[in-house]
Amino acid sequence: MRSMHIAVLLFNFLYYLSPVYSNCPEAPKCDKGYLYRSFDGTCNNLGYPLYGKPDLTYDRLLKANYDDGISTPYKAKDGGPLTPARTISNKLYPDIPLKDPIWTLILMQYGQIVAHDLSNIKQEGPDNCCTNETSKNPKCFAIEVPFDITDRMSLAGIKCISFIRTTTDRDQGCYTENEPVEQVSDVNSILDLSVTYGNSLAKSQELRTGLGGKLKVENRNEQDWPPRDPTPTKTCFLPNTEEACYLTGDKRGNQNLQLTVLQVAYLREHNRVCDILAELNPHWDDEKLFQEARKICIGQHQYVSYYEMLPIFLGRDNLLNYKIIYDTDDFVDDYDSSVNPAVYNEHANAANRYFHSNIEGYLKLYSDKFRLSYSSVRLSNWFDRPSFLEEGDNFGGLCRGLTTQLESNVDTFHTSEITQYLFKKAKTFGKDMKAADVQRNRDHGFRSYNDYRELCGLKRATKFSDLSGEINELAIILLQKLYKSVDDIELTTGGSVENHVQGALAGPTFVCIMLKQFSKTRLSDRFWFERSGKTGFTLDQLNEIRKASISRLLCDNSPTTDYMQPEGFKYTSIFGNKLQDCNTLPSINYTKWKE
């Protein structure tokens, strides 16, 4: 721990004094007595107030690997080109529809909310990197689509998929000379429900009414919806200009229907909590009501993320052993001011993206009490088009669908809705998320899969056969066809074909990386919901927060949903986790907040 403190002090000395950092942001002055967290993550760490801020770089588990040592994407070990990312996607991640036997689609979707809360690559470049004019633009790193009779894009005559490189510290003029570039995230790196409240004070003010602590809504068909985005054509795909396009705390809030369901649910939850607190404490002003409701909603979000979602993805025993969760009714005061909350690049842009395999291509809508499917909707028809939710009872039907429909199995198989038709808009084909994941691996200069194996305690492979037992034989054969050397295997691909750790939904390398990340996220947060003291909850309030659940969140914010299973991430059946009246599910007793 002493060496970690020294490293942090050295970093800050260089950050503030080195002339290389002349274009870096200035640290704000912090009010040490202020009880609530900022919107942009600053002043969470009083010693290093810039920690957590948007537009700063990701952290790294291993130093970047670039061909020129600075930013040029690496080549194969023998100096030749790597297999095109589109070919890897087409061969390694085909569309074979296998269902998870236990977990519902809302599990995948909550994972995306957490991912969006913690990071987002910043990109600045041309709209299309596949033209003669843009092909040599330094911000472009287009994905080649080689001719292949097994590739539907290739057969349609598509030869290129646009891809923009992530903005780096060099682009922003805040970097260390002769060091590899580091990519920038444009959201704060705190798990603080910034998808609802925004990543800046200005954004939060744009979202607030200024009355009763509430966030802005528009009421249509007796339901509250996020306000309209003032620049809808920049945010959404709108075949009809009358369609809704929402203004949310995160610019990705309209990206897909399931995501928008949770964006709407947390918006409604905030305002619902405001009404309760206002009745209990009529003397509280707008600011007090807003901040207390925000604090409660963030507490619920952190609890559901860590105690309900992560045990499924990473294994409860792993989380307990790694001290990411605790079996206690008491406070947990494990804040560590030496930990920088900056998200690991390898987590955000490789390991965590493994769960794209959970995505379902068609979303089912279900009735309430008896959970009968009555409709379905194709995912790619509604990218960046949230207006579907306002038609009839589609919002309620999808809330019930997300907690009833099984997610796709966690494996290498991916729906073609994201590998052929992603953001296709009015076109026949769109982008390829898995090809983009592989290309991003190269853009960000991640070291080889072998290097991360070693980091995570696995034996380094010297030949493909050394992977036997940890990766199934068919996957090894595919890797041999796609990579000339075992050292060419990339983190994104190698981690995705590992056999899963017992009790978890990923292999040992990705589990290792994600455990490191989620430990870092809680340790670095001075306002973490389990902390004691003036910035925290009382113990009675904390144990009320611990009653939160994904099921209760949807019950309370879907007016046409009256029944839900206690464990919303888990499939309901006659053998257990049965549907029950929403009013019988555990709920927070808000009288603990009465002054």
* Contact between 384 and 423 (Cβ < 8 Å): yes
Residue 91 carries which side chain, given as an amino acid letter? K
C-alpha 181/C-alpha 473 separation (Å) is 37
What DSSP string runs through 353-364?
A: GGGGGG--SEEE
* Contact between 455 and 464 (Cβ < 8 Å): no
DSSP code for 339 = -
C-alpha 411/C-alpha 93 separation (Å) is 9
DSSP code for 28 = P
C-alpha 336/C-alpha 446 separation (Å) is 27
Instruction: Determine whether 116 is an active site residue.
Output: yes
What pairs with residue 160 in β-bridges?
144
Neighbours of 568 (CB within 10 A): 26
C-alpha 487/C-alpha 489 separation (Å) is 6
Neighbours of 40 (CB within 10 A): 25
Query: For residue 207, which phi and psi values (nearest 5 degrees)?
Result: -90, -15
Q: Both tokens of residue 276?
A: 């309760």
Asked if residue 347 belongs to a known ligand binding site, the reply is no
* Contact between 346 and 62 (Cβ < 8 Å): yes
Give exposure, 73-111, as e/b (b: 16+ Cβ within 10 Å): bbeeeeeeebbbbbbbbbbbbeeeeeebeebbbbbbbbb
Q: Which residue has the tokens 């939710």?
A: 389
Give exposure, 529-546, as e/b (b: 16+ Cβ within 10 Å): bbbeeeebbeeebbebbb
C-alpha 141/C-alpha 349 separation (Å) is 16
Q: How far from each other are the two terminal CA atoms of the chain, in whole angstroms?
A: 41
Q: Greatest CA span in the chain, whole angstroms?
A: 71
C-alpha 180/C-alpha 169 separation (Å) is 10
Nearest to 379 by CA among 171, 75, 109, 167: 109
Active-site residue identified among 5, 116, 347, 444 = 116
> For residue 55, what are the contacts with CB-CB under 8 A and spacing of at least 6?
25, 122, 172, 184, 185, 186
Q: How far is CA 253 from the centre of its chain?
A: 12
* Contact between 182 and 49 (Cβ < 8 Å): no
Nearest to 305 by CA among 121, 119, 118, 456: 118
Counting Cβ atoms within 10 Å, is residue 296 exposed (0-12), middle (13-18) or buried (19+)?
buried
C-alpha 60/C-alpha 168 separation (Å) is 14
Neighbours of 427 (CB within 10 A): 9
Neighbours of 465 (CB within 10 A): 12
**Catalytic residue numbers, as ranges:** 116
Binding positions for heme b: 356
Binding residue ranges? 356
